Amino acid sequence: MSKQRPSGNSREIHAVSLNKYALFFEKTKNIPGIKIVPSKPASDNDLLLAHSKQWLRRLKLNDLTKMEEEQLSIPNSKLLISRSWKFAGASIAAALNSLECGLGISAIGGGHHAKFNTGEGFCPVNDIAIAIKKIRKENKIKKVLIVDLDAHQGNGTAEIFHNDKNIFTYSAHQQFGYPEKRERSSLDIEFPPNIEDEQYLEVIQETLPEIFKKSNFDMAFYIAGADIYAHDLLGDMKVSMAGIQKRDAFVFKILKDLKIPIVLAFAGGYAKNIDDTAKIYFNTVKEALKSFPLFNKKIHF
Ligand SMILES: [Zn+2]
């Protein structure tokens, strides 16, 4: 999302950035056995696990106020809003896949700004919250950890799970800019502008392992935002591509040690050169494969 309030400019950047998925899928052809799996749309009842009836109705009718459209910051909202059910479907499928083989990947997932009653910041629905609530309901998992390393606070996820003691939300993000109004995660880490590899990695390596001592989690979601990248147009951080790869290697290694199902979602990524974002996502998958050799290589989108 934007450094400040969503602007016309950030809408354009987001629209152009959507080409990253095709570039990413092209790169995955270099990994033998990778399967790109189109997801079934989630049901209305699935969306209602994390969102209000009113919000669902308005999404269906595409009946958003000007302000809501502005908050969502999606220019061609009619097209993207209608895909909300698919975003959620991909993350549910990835979560189910993780129960089978230890890891699931939702390429289009990571709508961490969407709240119970509204969408914002390019996120009409919170596919992470929907998937967690659905899996928890059907598979009797109880405690879930969300590791959100997108450049922007996972404010929607924090709001939805605010009163839920069984969900731990860890969000490490830039200190200033979007979202202007922050919610309280279980643990928020804030980075000053222009943070570089060494300092960034040091903080993640110090704070993240501490979380695991707090609880026995049954499942973890990793929101591996690519917008912490130095050349990202909507992020305010200066982490190199190699630094992001080190971040992912570290996170996957410690998540693997938990021996619980892990769900990966890509979330933000708006690099000036769109191919850079695709490359960062690709590197994330490569790191995941190193830690999860039993992964069945299905990528849901
Ligand atoms: Zn972001």
In tens, the pLDDT along 244-253 reads 999 999 999 9
Distance CA 283, CA 27 (A): 10
* Domain contains 1: no
Residue 93's nearest CA partner among 39, 52, 145, 134 is 39
Mean pLDDT of the chain: 92
pTM of the complete model: 0.94
Residue 82's identity, in one-letter code, is S
Report how far Cα 75 is from the mean position of its chain's Cα atoms.
21
CATH number of the domain encompassing residue 295: 3.40.800.20
71 Cα–ligand 1 center, Å: 14
* Domain contains 2: no
143 Cα–ligand 1 center, Å: 25
* Domain contains 146: yes
Distance CA 179, CA 171 (A): 13
Who has greater pLDDT, 189 or 3? 189
What is the tens place of the pLDDT at every residue in 38-77? 999 999 999 999 999 999 998 888 878 888 888 887 765 6
149 Cα–ligand 1 center, Å: 9
Q: Comparing 40-54, 56-70, 97-111, 134-148, which segment has the lowest mean pLDDT?
A: 56-70
* Domain contains 282: yes
pLDDT above 50 (res 197): yes
Distance CA 69, CA 81 (A): 10
* Domain contains 12: yes
Distance CA 301, CA 296 (A): 15
202 Cα–ligand 1 center, Å: 21
Strands 167-174 and 144-148: parallel
* Domain contains 3: no
* Domain contains 230: yes
178 Cα–ligand 1 center, Å: 9
> How confident is the model over 97-113, as a mean pLDDT?
97
148 Cα–ligand 1 center, Å: 10
49 Cα–ligand 1 center, Å: 24
The structural domain count of the chain equals: 1
228 Cα–ligand 1 center, Å: 8
Q: Comparing 67-81, 124-138, 189-203, 234-248, which segment has the lowest mean pLDDT?
A: 67-81
pLDDT above 50 (res 6): no
Q: Describe the crossing of helices 197-212 and 241-258 by its angle, rounded to 10 degrees.
A: 10
In sequence order, what are the beta bridge partners of 35? 298
Distance CA 269, CA 231 (A): 10
225 Cα–ligand 1 center, Å: 6
Which residues are placed with Cβ below 5 angstroms of ligand 1, an ion? Answer: 150-152, 227, 268
- Residue-range definition of the domain harbouring residue 287: 8-300
140 Cα–ligand 1 center, Å: 31
52 Cα–ligand 1 center, Å: 24
- Provide the percentage of residues in the chain whose pLDDT is more than 90: 82
CA of 27: how far to CAs of 4, 13, 264, in Å? 32, 22, 18
221 Cα–ligand 1 center, Å: 16
pLDDT at 182: 97
pLDDT above 70 (res 1): no
